[in-house]
Structure 1
Amino acid sequence: MRTGEPLPEVGDVLAALATGLWHWDTATGEVTVDAVTARLLGLPAEQVTLTEAQVRSRLHPVDWNEITGVVQLAVAEGTLAEVRIRIMDELGHVVRVVRSRSKPAFDPVRKAYELTGTLQEVAEPTPGTPAGRSAVTGDWRRSREAFLLDAGRALAEARSTEEVLRVAAALSMPGFTPDGLAVFGVAGDRLTVIGHHGQPENEVNPFVDMSLDTDYPAAEVARTGRAVYLSSPQQYRSRYPMTWHLAERFGRRSWAYLPLTVAGRTMGAWLAAFAYPVAFTPDERSVLTTVARMLAQALSRAGAAETQRELTDGVQRAMLPVLGPEIPGMDIAARYVPTGGGLQVGGDWYDMIPLPGERFAIVIGDVQGHDVRAAALMGQLRIALRAYASEGHRPDAVLSRASHFFHGLTSDGDPGDLRFATCYYAEVDPVTGTLESARAGHLDPVVRMADGTALILATAGGLPLGIDPDTDYPTTRLALEPGDTLMLCTDGLVETGGHDLQTGWHRLRVVLEDHEGGLEDLADALVGAVHGPSSHHTTGPLADRREDDIALLLLCRQGEGCGCGDSTVARPTVRRTMLSVAQAEPARIATARQHLRDLLHDWPDEDQRDAAVLLLSEMLTNVLVHTDTDALLVAEVAGEPGERRIRVEVTDNGDDLPHKRRPGEMASSGRGLMLIELLADAWGVAPRGKGKSIWYEVYESADPEDGPADGSAAA
Structure 2
Amino acid sequence: MRTGEPLPSVGDVLAALATGLWHWDTATGLVTVDAEAARLLGLPPERTTLTESQTRARLHPQDWNEITGVVPLAVDEGTLAEVRIRIMDGRGRVVRVVRSRSKPSFDPDRRSYELIGTLQEVTEPVPGTAAARNAVTGDWRRSREAFLLDAGRALAEARSTAEVLRVAGGLSMPGFSPDGLVLFGVEGDWLTIIGHHGHQPGDVRPFSDMPLAADYPAAEVVRTGRAVYLSSPEQYEARYPGTWALVRPFGRHSWAFLPLTVAGRTMGAWMAAFTYPVAFTPDERAVLATVARMLAQALSRAGAAESERELTEGLQRSMLPSLGPEIPGMRVAARYIPTGGGLQVGGDWYDMIPLPSGRFALVVGDVQGHDVRAAGLMGQLRIALRAYASEGHRPDAVLSRASRFLHGITHDSRDEHLSDLRFATCVYVEADPATGMLEIARAGHPDPAIRMADGTVMMRPTAGGLPLGVDPDADYPTTGFALEPGETMMLCTDGLIETGGHDLESGWRRLRKVLEDHQGDVETLADALVQAVHGPSSHHTTGPLADRREDDIALVLLCRPGQGCGCDDTATVRTKVRRTLLSVAQDEPERIAEARQHLRELLHDWLSAEQIDSAVLLVSEMVTNVLVHTDTDALLLAEVTGDACGRRLRVEVTDAGDDLPHKRRPGELASSGRGLMLIELLADAWGVDPRGEGKSIWFELYEPDGSEGVSGGVSEGLERRSGGTALDDPAAASGGPS
TM-score range, shorter chain: 0.7 to 0.9
Correspondences of 1:187-198 after superposition (within 5 Å) = 187-198=187-198
Q: Deviations over 1:187-238 (max 9, x none)?
A: 1111111111223333322210111122221111111211111122232223
What secondary structure sits across from 1:408 in the alignment? helix
Q: Deviations over 1:637-675 (max 9, x none)?
A: 122222221111112233333222223333222222221
Matched, 1:373 2:373: yes
2:384 alignment counterpart: 384
What secondary structure sits across from 1:214 in the alignment? coil
Counterpart AA for 1:220: E
The two structures have a TM-score, normalised by structure 1, of: 0.78
Q: 1:341 and 1:564, CA in 2 relative to 1: closer, same or farther beyond 3 A? A: farther
**Equivalent of 2:465, from 445, 462, 466?**
462
Q: 1:698 and 1:622, CA in 2 relative to 1: closer, same or farther beyond 3 A? A: same
1:668 alignment counterpart: 671
Matched, 1:325 2:339: no
Counterpart AA for 1:646: L
Q: Aligned equivalents of 1:540 and 1:351: distance in 2? A: 14
Matched, 1:185 2:185: yes
1:199 alignment counterpart: 199
1:122 alignment counterpart: none
Q: Aligned equivalents of 1:180 and 1:689: distance in 2? A: 89
Q: Aligned equivalents of 1:158 and 1:362: distance in 2? A: 41
Counterpart AA for 1:617: S
Q: Is the 8 A contact 2:607 2:704 kept in 1?
A: no
1:231 alignment counterpart: 231
Q: Aligned equivalents of 2:124 and 2:276: distance in 1? A: 22
Q: Aligned equivalents of 1:690 and 1:538: distance in 2? A: 51
Q: Is the 8 A contact 1:254 1:276 kept in 2?
A: yes
Matched, 1:708 2:722: yes
Correspondences of 1:488-499 after superposition (within 5 Å) = 488-499=491-502
Q: Deviations over 1:593-612 (max 9, x none)?
A: 11101111110100000110
Q: Aligned equivalents of 1:419 and 1:153: distance in 2? A: 40
1:521 alignment counterpart: 524
Correspondences of 1:431-510 after superposition (within 5 Å) = 431-510=434-513
1:118 alignment counterpart: none
Q: Aligned equivalents of 2:427 and 2:545: distance in 1? A: 26
Q: 1:712 and 1:489, CA in 2 relative to 1: closer, same or farther beyond 3 A? A: closer
Counterpart AA for 1:708: S
2:140 alignment counterpart: 140
1:530 alignment counterpart: 533
Q: Aligned equivalents of 1:348 and 1:200: distance in 2? A: 46
Counterpart AA for 1:485: T
Q: Aligned equivalents of 1:599 and 1:416: distance in 2? A: 47
Counterpart AA for 1:269: A
Q: Aligned equivalents of 1:264 and 1:330: distance in 2? A: 60
Shift of 1:585: 1.5
What secondary structure sits across from 1:304 in the alignment? helix
Counterpart AA for 1:584: D
Correspondences of 1:13-32 after superposition (within 5 Å) = none
Counterpart AA for 2:444: G
1:19 alignment counterpart: none
Correspondences of 1:152-191 after superposition (within 5 Å) = 152-191=152-191
Q: Deviations over 1:283-332 (max 9, x none)?
A: 00000011101111111111111111111111111111111111112111
2:260 alignment counterpart: 260
1:679 alignment counterpart: 682
Shift of 1:554: 0.8
Shift of 1:410: 1.4
1:589 alignment counterpart: 592
- Give aligned pairs, total: 587
Q: Is the 8 A contact 1:336 1:536 kept in 2?
A: no
2:420 alignment counterpart: 417
Gaps of 5+ in 2: 1-121, 706-710, 734-738
Q: 1:578 and 1:571, CA in 2 relative to 1: closer, same or farther beyond 3 A? A: same
Q: Percent identity?
A: 76
Counterpart AA for 2:682: L
What secondary structure sits across from 1:242 in the alignment? helix
Q: Aligned equivalents of 2:330 and 2:306: distance in 1? A: 39
Q: Deviations over 1:355-405 (max 9, x none)?
A: 234321111111111111111111111111111111111111111111111
Q: Is the 8 A contact 1:337 1:534 kept in 2?
A: no
Q: 1:681 and 1:223, CA in 2 relative to 1: closer, same or farther beyond 3 A? A: same
Q: Is the 8 A contact 2:688 2:696 kept in 1?
A: yes
Counterpart AA for 1:407: H
Correspondences of 1:287-366 after superposition (within 5 Å) = 287-366=287-366
1:22 alignment counterpart: none
Counterpart AA for 2:723: A
Q: Aligned equivalents of 1:308 and 1:462: distance in 2? A: 38
Q: Aligned equivalents of 2:274 and 2:172: distance in 1? A: 12
Shift of 1:415: 7.3
Q: Deviations over 1:530-557 (max 9, x none)?
A: 1223377379997442111111111111
Q: Deviations over 1:421-452 (max 9, x none)?
A: 11111121111111122111111111111111
Q: Aligned equivalents of 1:605 and 1:245: distance in 2? A: 89
Counterpart AA for 1:691: G
Q: Deviations over 1:458-494 (max 9, x none)?
A: 1111111111111111111120111111111111111
Counterpart AA for 1:581: V
Q: Deviations over 1:552-587 (max 9, x none)?
A: 111111112211599xx9987321111111222111
Matched, 1:281 2:284: no
Identify the range of structure 1 (430-439 vs 678-687) with the bigger mean alpha-carbon deviation: 678-687
Counterpart AA for 1:677: E
Q: Aligned equivalents of 1:314 and 1:513: distance in 2? A: 35
Q: Is the 8 A contact 1:532 1:542 kept in 2?
A: no
Q: Deviations over 1:35-59 (max 9, x none)?
A: xxxxxxxxxxxxxxxxxxxxxxxxx
Matched, 1:619 2:622: yes
Correspondences of 1:53-68 after superposition (within 5 Å) = none
**Superposition RMSD in Å:** 2.6
Counterpart AA for 1:349: W
2:16 alignment counterpart: none
Q: Aligned equivalents of 2:538 and 2:427: distance in 1? A: 23
Q: Is the 8 A contact 1:338 1:538 kept in 2?
A: no
Q: Aligned equivalents of 1:297 and 1:671: distance in 2? A: 82
What secondary structure sits across from 2:701 in the alignment? strand
What secondary structure sits across from 1:191 in the alignment? strand
What secondary structure sits across from 2:519 in the alignment? coil
Identify the range of structure 1 (531-540 vs 411-420) with the bigger mean alpha-carbon deviation: 531-540
Q: Is the 8 A contact 2:681 2:723 kept in 1?
A: no
Shift of 1:691: 2.6
**Equivalent of 1:579, from 569, 578, 582?**
582
Shift of 1:707: 5.2
2:100 alignment counterpart: none
What secondary structure sits across from 2:727 in the alignment? helix
Q: Is the 8 A contact 1:661 1:671 kept in 2?
A: yes
Q: Aligned equivalents of 2:268 and 2:457: distance in 1? A: 59
What secondary structure sits across from 1:370 in the alignment? coil
Shift of 1:342: 1.2
Q: 1:134 and 1:175, CA in 2 relative to 1: closer, same or farther beyond 3 A? A: closer
Counterpart AA for 1:397: A
Q: 1:611 and 1:535, CA in 2 relative to 1: closer, same or farther beyond 3 A? A: farther
Counterpart AA for 1:611: S
1:35 alignment counterpart: none
Counterpart AA for 1:186: V
Counterpart AA for 1:713: L
2:406 alignment counterpart: 406
Q: 1:633 and 1:238, CA in 2 relative to 1: closer, same or farther beyond 3 A? A: same
Q: 1:557 and 1:580, CA in 2 relative to 1: closer, same or farther beyond 3 A? A: same
Matched, 1:647 2:661: no
Shift of 1:620: 1.6
What secondary structure sits across from 1:487 in the alignment? strand
